[in-house]
């Protein structure tokens, strides 16, 4: 492991440049210490140094859209994308560290009293000051060519677009501030702008970023966002907004869906990125999340890179061992992986002739290989977990450590090479933006627009299926009975399924449910693996297990939240699609309105 630490690059994400950290209050500005504004904007290096501070700030744990493997020991538990998945229907946890996310998923979110002390709340605005301050001043660098100035401005437009997109995802209507403020600026006490106004501004920013950013930076500027990074983000932004408007009854959704498909199509046509595929369908997918160096991976469009000293994490430490999170994947998630039939077609569990859950090992047979790279197959313990003879799964009441309330142990970014490392010394990278999402954004935008073709599927979804040797998706798949009453086509069901499987534990699923107006999925009972009474009895495979079970069609499955307040689940269609503004924020600015549906 020391060799890995020694060769790991120190990147722009880990460079501390003396720009002060931002505060958490409403529109608190970030002073730029020791920076003489009149004399600073002279050279390209000035702009580069300033923007490095923006990169460094976004790489902290303050911004949910870029946490990846969150840095720090305790923060790696609940602020990494792994832990944040407990807000969705993919991951179940009664661990106190994930309570903020589990409460949201169960419909138990409350209006926070104080934004600064609320882990799950993202009402933070200091980063915006950094962006606006640059855009207010960068043109003062008149000795630098307009082309070079604009390249750095493109970076800032990119980050500001992402910042505001995140705010709209969380709150809907938010204040739109496009220049830097001081303590007396009247905008400190402004009310929210409409979602439509803010999203038009986001679209304008990301388009400026695309136009200003280079295709590639010089070799002396590694890892900076480029025009393709911006096109990728645009495809995400526009797919989200287009489908939100479509399913939440707002106007002008087709404009965003078209823009999403066009942006994703531009990245595809560029030929710059490919699906990571070395011909190993049982490991290539997971390799993206256990890599010590995503710097040159052809699928990774924007990685979050880690290095020691200065920026390490503890995700593996928090997934296994005595301090492991009490969490696990849900039956609903596991059931969505397709089965491979004897005629080499792919079918959902409900239509499969090959599916069998009599023992946990059976569920991995004839399944999409991504299942065994996301959830621990006990037969692959040595490869995935780095031990042998541990008799997985470990259930509540059993003597072993690393227990799961569902029996489905999550291993997608568990790296056995880093098992046992303490004090946030892990340095596996995380692909925050990757080409797989571009392909999925493209397919979904085309399908939602009603003009998808087999050619579109073959250059998008089927590229991902090729990596894991899964049968191809065609335009007329069978309807999964699980989703037959959802009011969407069987093809769209399969595209959404592909997204759930491919992008699991990557900060996607919860936002997908919100934009599709499927929050009701979170109110369903949360189940785990099959567990019959004989399995728990003395001499049974899971002797001593205290899990409560429920019977479905003559089989018993773990009730993951039995005995917990989280077993009582709800989703209020009138408020739970967006989050409340903290009370202390509205006390500072009485002109702010509370998010619709939330009352203090």
pLDDT per position as a tens digit, 317-334: 999 877 789 999 999 999
Q: For tokens 């060799």, what's the residue?
A: 3
> What pLDDT, on a 0 to 100 scale, did the predictor assign at position 119?
60
pLDDT in tens, 552-566: 999 999 999 999 999
Mean pLDDT of 530-553: 96
**Does the pLDDT value for residue 294 go beyond 60?**
yes
Closest CA to 172 of 598, 509, 591: 598
pLDDT band for position 86 (cuts 50, 70, 90): very high
When mean pLDDT is compared over 2-6, 24-28, 381-385, the highest value belongs to 381-385
Question: 3-class DSSP state for residue 386?
Answer: coil
**Does the pLDDT value for residue 275 go beyond 60?**
yes
pLDDT band for position 30 (cuts 50, 70, 90): very low
> What pLDDT, on a 0 to 100 scale, did the predictor assign at position 308?
87
> What pLDDT, on a 0 to 100 scale, did the predictor assign at position 295?
86
| Range scoring the smallest mean pLDDT among 7-16, 252-261, 300-309, 514-523 | 7-16
pLDDT in tens, 336-347: 999 999 999 999
**Does the pLDDT value for residue 132 go beyond 80?**
yes
Helix residue ranges, H only, 376-460: 381-385, 435-449, 454-458
Closest CA to 443 of 598, 277, 582, 239: 239
pLDDT band for position 34 (cuts 50, 70, 90): very low
Q: Which neighbouring-strand residues pair with 555?
A: 552
Whole-model pTM: value is 0.94
| Range scoring the smallest mean pLDDT among 38-52, 163-177, 324-338, 360-374 | 38-52
pLDDT in tens, 187-216: 889 999 999 999 999 999 999 999 999 999
> What pLDDT, on a 0 to 100 scale, did the predictor assign at position 120?
61
More confident residue, 3 or 355: 355
**Does the pLDDT value for residue 23 go beyond 60?**
no
What length is written for the chain?
Answer: 600
Instruction: State the Cα–Cα distance between residues 497 and 520, nearest whole angstrom.
Output: 17
Mean pLDDT of 511-521: 98
Domain extent listing, the chain: 321-413+527-560
Average pLDDT of the chain? 91
Instruction: State the Cα–Cα distance between residues 398 and 18, nearest whole angstrom.
Output: 50
> What pLDDT, on a 0 to 100 scale, did the predictor assign at position 7?
34
What is the percent of the chain with per-residue pLDDT over 70, rounded to a whole number? 92
């Amino acid at each position: 492991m020391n060799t890995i630490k020694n060769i790991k690059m120190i990147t722009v994400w880990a460079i501390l440049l003396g720009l002060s950290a931002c505060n958490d209050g409403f529109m608190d500005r970030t002073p730029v210490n020791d920076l003489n504004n009149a004399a600073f904007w002279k050279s390209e290096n000035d702009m580069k140094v300033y923007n490095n501070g923006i990169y460094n700030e976004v790489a902290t744990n303050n911004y949910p859209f870029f946490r990846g493997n969150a840095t720090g020991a305790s923060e790696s538990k609940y602020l990494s994308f792994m832990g944040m998945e407990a807000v969705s229907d993919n991951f179940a946890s009664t661990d106190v560290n994930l309570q903020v996310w589990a409460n949201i998923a169960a419909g138990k979110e409350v209006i926070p009293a104080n934004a600064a002390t609320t882990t799950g709340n993202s009402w933070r605005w200091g980063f915006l000051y950094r962006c606006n301050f640059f855009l207010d001043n960068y043109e003062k660098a008149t000795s630098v060519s307009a082309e070079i100035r604009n390249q750095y401005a493109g970076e800032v437009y990119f980050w500001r677009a992402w910042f505001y997109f995140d705010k709209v995802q969380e709150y809907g209507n938010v204040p739109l501030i496009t220049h830097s403020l001081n303590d007396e600026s009247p905008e400190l006490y402004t009310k929210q702008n409409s979602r439509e106004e803010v999203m038009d501004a986001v679209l304008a920013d990301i388009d400026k970023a695309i136009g200003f950013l280079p295709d590639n930076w010089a070799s002396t500027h590694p890892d900076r966002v480029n025009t393709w990074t911006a096109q990728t983000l645009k495809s995400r932004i526009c797919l989200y907004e287009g489908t939100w408007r479509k399913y939440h009854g707002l106007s002008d959704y087709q404009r965003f869906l078209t823009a999403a498909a066009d942006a994703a199509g531009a990245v595809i046509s560029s030929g710059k990125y490919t699906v990571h595929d070395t011909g190993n369908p049982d490991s290539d997918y997971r390799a993206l999340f256990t890599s010590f160096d995503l710097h040159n991976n052809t699928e990774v469009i924007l990685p979050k890179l880690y290095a020691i000293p200065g920026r390490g994490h503890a995700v593996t430490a928090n997934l296994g061992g005595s301090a492991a999170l009490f969490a696990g994947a849900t039956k609903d998630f596991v059931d969505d992986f397709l089965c491979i039939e004897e005629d080499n077609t792919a079918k959902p569990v409900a239509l499969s002739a090959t599916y069998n859950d009599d023992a946990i090992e059976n569920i991995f047979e004839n399944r999409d290989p991504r299942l065994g790279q996301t959830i621990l197959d006990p037969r692959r313990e040595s490869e995935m977990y780095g031990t042998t003879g541990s008799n997985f799964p470990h259930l509540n009441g059993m003597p072993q450590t690393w227990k799961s309330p569902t029996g489905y142990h999550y291993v997608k970014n568990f790296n056995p090479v880093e098992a046992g490392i303490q004090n946030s010394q892990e340095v596996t990278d995380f692909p925050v933006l990757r080409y797989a999402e571009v392909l999925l954004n493209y397919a979904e935008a085309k399908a939602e627009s009603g003009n998808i073709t087999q050619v579109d599927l073959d250059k998008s979804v089927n590229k991902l299926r090729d990596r894991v040797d899964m049968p191809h998706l065609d335009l007329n798949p069978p309807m999964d009975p699980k989703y037959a009453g959802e009011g969407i086509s069987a093809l769209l069901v399969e595209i959404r399924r592909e997204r759930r499987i491919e992008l699991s534990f990557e900060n996607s699923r919860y936002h997908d449910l919100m934009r599709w107006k499927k929050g009701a999925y979170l109110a369903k009972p949360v189940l785990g693996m099959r567990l019959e009474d004989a399995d728990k009895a003395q001499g049974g495979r899971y002797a001593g297990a205290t899990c409560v079970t429920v019977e479905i069609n003559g089989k018993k499955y773990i009730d993951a939240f039995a005995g917990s307040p989280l077993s009582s689940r709800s989703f209020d269609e009138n408020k739970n699609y967006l989050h409340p503004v903290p009370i202390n924020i509205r006390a500072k600015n009485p002109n702010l309105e509370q998010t619709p549906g939330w009352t203090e």
